[in-house]
């Protein structure tokens, strides 16, 4: 990460603001040793306790409701903890015969990591900033040194901050403009409850300032005397922007904005010239932005344009002009400008297009950059302020790739830092010379154990879905892999997130064993434009599931693989996808990995006390108010649609501290599957008792979990070493 995170990006502004849960007491950590060997060898059978609920005249029985600890967010119910311990013990017992394979794969994965590595230094003002990771260390160290020469200075050592902790995650980090301080936040249990601290860089001493329960960036304003941040409320939602003055108690912090809509989240950051603080509020379909002078953050705020349901917009400011990226008159967004004096009067600069999906922009002193996708492939375009029709596209050598702006913290630049990769090309960092158009490769991901790019091939296919839609698929394999080989299929398919056709060194452990790997660019993501996303949300959600199934069947029809020889995986909303496809087409799959799966959709969308729920209604529907939404969600919710039939082998994961998909969703789902499934295929649930949504946090401990998944997939598919 680049330590000087300063400017507001709409997606980043709300990323932390969607987190929610409290830390768990030590009593909730569990001890698998309390489970007997006999119990560990037997699939746990969860107790059924009578419970039902009624909405819109429809009554639903939910006998595993008890798995939601009723003292949540504290999790101390002994029955709940005991059940999760039994599941973990069963997981360990079932995976024990595959320990050697898991260890082999782990060493492979570890061998592809450059143990002592560093990022490419980037200039920001008088300093060069970069990060390093040392051999054997789990976490990164962040440094800087003067541009004009001098010794490097340690900003943060994540290893030191993580010492003695089972989990650590660095959140926001920002150096003051005068270079004296670094403000940073951290989460040490996976619950996404961050604590912010301030460090004097020269002395290494921490200031007395402690800001608990932050879920936001940390933005320096008012000549580096104050920090802007967002504090989670009692429901763990960020509905505010607060101002902390260095050297004062947090109780004296000033609230400069409060959001009245419980479904909206709030974020703040600086404009390109760092003279305006941008306060953005929004949910999954509506935005509203305010501006206030960064040197006077408690001063008068300028409302850019009042919120209008379904209209999204984000802004930046250059001199006396406001730039607006919005979907108000075209689904694929347009770029407009407005005078700062009348910021709601928008004039089109780049019109919306059916062909080009305008995903974002960045302002610089002499030019600006637009990013987007054309036919599903990334585009980076330099444009002239005087004439937006003057476009300088940045060309890349491969037909299918993932590319975008990297970290460019300075406003006046002659070179742009870019990131590039493809299914066969490792992560690469370039500098693009604006004047000459030359691309200079600064760094390419090193794979110490070896990687011969020519040994692998990639292609982009289209598969016809059942409604006639052409769904893109990115496929990679070893050049010697025959047709009909086992194949792993991956997708996400929600929130407009496009899965890029990027590189993964980890993936080689499957490819080198004769498997193909495919990414299905299904609806629900915005791979082919904003409509592609809209066609997979709300009342069209099942298109996402159908696309994935139809891609799998299409790959079978084209001879790439065979029924029952396909493994599939997905996490979170992608885990919901896994739950849906095993209900509808269980015989297609040879193995399934469902990670922190969002499978109890109806119950979660009915629980408005959960921090995420009100903000999620625009994505999934509000079953509390709408009978139609209730019935539609019920029709596909994986937990509710489990039936008596054969299911494929499945590995399911959960995090006790997970703030996004609460642990009881996968736990309830697995319990119901165990009750109703008619096969003898293995079904495993592993709950990380001290981690959250992302699983374990260290770079090597993460690989152990991936090695477990790969070992599970390979053994279930019968792939030989």
> Residue 29: how many CA atoms within 13 Å on its side-chain side?
10
> How far apart, in whole angstroms, are the C-alpha atoms of residue 369 and residue 363?
7
- Give the three-class secondary structure for 421: strand
Spatial contact of 278 and 272, defined as CB atoms under 8 Å apart:
no
The SS3 assignment for 395 reads: coil
Asked if 650 and 594 count as a contact pair (C-beta separation under 8 A), the reply is yes
Q: Do 585 and 597 contact (CB within 8 A), yes or no?
A: no
Q: Which of 437, 578, 448 is nearest to 508 (CA)?
A: 448
Q: In 10 A of CB 620, how many CB atoms?
A: 24
Q: Measured in Å, how far apart are the chain's first and last C-alpha atoms? A: 37
Q: Which residue among 287, 572, 637, 697 is the active-site one?
A: 572
478 is catalytic: no
Question: Pairing between strand 254-258 and 265-270?
Answer: unpaired
Catalytic choice (131, 187, 658, 697): 658
Q: Is the dihedral of CA 448, 453, 457, 460 positive or negative?
A: positive
Cα–Cα distance between 491 and 577 in angstroms, integer?
8
The C-alpha R_g of the chain, in whole angstroms, comes to 25
Query: Residues with Cβ < 8 Å from 454, sequence gap 6 or more?
Result: 479
Question: What does DSSP say about strands 650-655 and 589-595: parallel, antiparallel, or unpaired?
Answer: parallel
572 catalytic? Reply is yes
Query: Whose CA is closest to 506, among 98, 131, 107?
Result: 107
Residue 675 backbone dihedrals phi, psi, to 5 degrees: -65, -40
Query: Considering only CA atoms, which of 559, 566, 551 is closest in space to residue 462?
Result: 551
Q: List residues with catalytic annotation.
A: 572, 658, 693
């Amino acid at each position: 990460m680049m330590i000087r995170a300063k400017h507001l990006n709409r997606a980043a502004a709300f990323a932390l603001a969607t987190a929610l849960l409290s830390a768990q007491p030590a009593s909730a950590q569990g001890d698998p040793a309390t489970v007997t060997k006999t119990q560990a060898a037997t699939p746990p059978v969860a107790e059924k306790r009578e419970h039902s609920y009624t909405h819109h005249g429809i009554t639903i029985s939910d006998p595993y409701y008890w798995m939601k600890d009723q003292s949540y967010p504290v999790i101390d119910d002994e029955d709940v903890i005991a059940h999760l311990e039994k599941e973990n013990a069963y997981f360990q017992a079932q995976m024990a015969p595959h320990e050697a394979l898991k260890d082999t794969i782990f060493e492979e994965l570890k061998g592809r990591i450059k143990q002592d590595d560093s990022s490419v230094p980037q200039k920001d003002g008088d300093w060069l900033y970069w990060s390093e990771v040392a051999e054997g260390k789990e976490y990164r160290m962040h440094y800087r040194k003067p541009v004009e020469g001098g010794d490097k200075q340690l900003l943060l050592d994540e290893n030191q901050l993580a010492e003695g902790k089972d989990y650590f995650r660095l959140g926001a980090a920002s150096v003051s403009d005068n270079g004296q301080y670094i403000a940073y936040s951290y989460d040490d249990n996976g619950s996404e409850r961050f604590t912010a601290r301030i460090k004097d860089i020269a002395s290494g001493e921490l200031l007395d300032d402690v800001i608990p329960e932050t879920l936001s960036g940390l933005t320096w304003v008012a000549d580096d005397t104050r920090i802007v941040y967002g504090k989670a409320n009692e429901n763990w939602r960020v509905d505010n922007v607060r101002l902390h003055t260095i050297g004062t108690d947090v109780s004296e912090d000033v609230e400069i904005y409060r959001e009245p809509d419980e479904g909206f989240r709030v974020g703040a950051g600086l404009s390109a010239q760092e003279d305006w603080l941008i306060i953005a509020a929004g949910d999954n379909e509506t935005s509203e932005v305010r501006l206030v002078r960064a040197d006077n953050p408690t001063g008068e705020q300028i409302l850019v344009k009042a919120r209008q349901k379904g209209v999204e917009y984000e802004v930046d400011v250059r001199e006396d002009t406001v730039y607006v990226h919005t979907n108000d008159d075209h689904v694929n967004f347009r770029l407009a400008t407005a005078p700062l004096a009348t910021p709601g009067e928008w004039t089109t600069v780049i019109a919306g297009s059916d062909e080009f999906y305008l995903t974002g922009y960045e302002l610089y002193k002499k030019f600006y950059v637009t990013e987007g996708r054309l036919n599903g492939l990334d585009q980076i375009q330099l444009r002239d302020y005087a004439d937006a029709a003057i476009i300088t596209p940045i060309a890349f050598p491969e037909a299918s790739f993932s590319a975008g702006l990297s970290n460019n913290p300075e406003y006046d630049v002659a070179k742009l830092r870019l990131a590039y990769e493809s299914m066969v090309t490792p992560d690469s960092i370039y500098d693009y010379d604006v004047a000459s158009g030359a691309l200079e490769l600064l760094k390419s991901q090193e794979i110490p154990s070896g990687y011969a790019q020519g040994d692998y091939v990639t292609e982009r296919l289209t598969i016809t879905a059942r409604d006639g839609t052409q769904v893109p698929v990115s496929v990679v394999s070893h050049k010697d892999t025959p047709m009909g080989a086992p194949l792993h299929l991956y997708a996400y398919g929600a929130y407009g997130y496009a899965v890029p056709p990027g590189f993964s060194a980890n993936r080689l452990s499957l490819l080198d064993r004769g498997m193909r790997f495919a990414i299905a660019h299904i609806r629900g993501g915005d791979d082919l434009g904003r409509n592609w996303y809209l066609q997979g949300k709300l009342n069209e959600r099942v298109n996402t599931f159908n696309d994935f199934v139809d891609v799998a069947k299409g790959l079978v029809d084209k001879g790439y693989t065979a029924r029952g020889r396909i493994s599939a995986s997905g996490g979170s909303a992608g885990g919901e996808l896994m739950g849906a496809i095993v209900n509808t087409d269980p015989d297609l799959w040879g193995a399934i990995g469902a990670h922190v799966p969002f499978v109890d959709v109806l119950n979660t969308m009915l629980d408005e006390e959960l921090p995420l729920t009100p903000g999620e209604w625009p994505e999934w529907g509000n079953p509390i108010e709408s009978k139609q939404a209730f019935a539609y969600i019920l029709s596909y919710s994986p937990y509710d649609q489990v039936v008596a039939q054969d299911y494929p082998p499945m590995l399911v994961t959960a995090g006790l501290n997970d703030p996004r998909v609460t642990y009881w969703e996968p736990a309830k789902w697995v319990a119901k599957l165990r009750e109703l499934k008619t096969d003898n295929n293995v079904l495993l649930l592993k709950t990380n008792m001290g981690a959250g949504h992302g699983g374990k946090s260290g770079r090597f401990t993460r690989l152990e979990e991936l090695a477990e998944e790969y070992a599970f997939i390979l053994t279930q598919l019968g792939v030989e070493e």
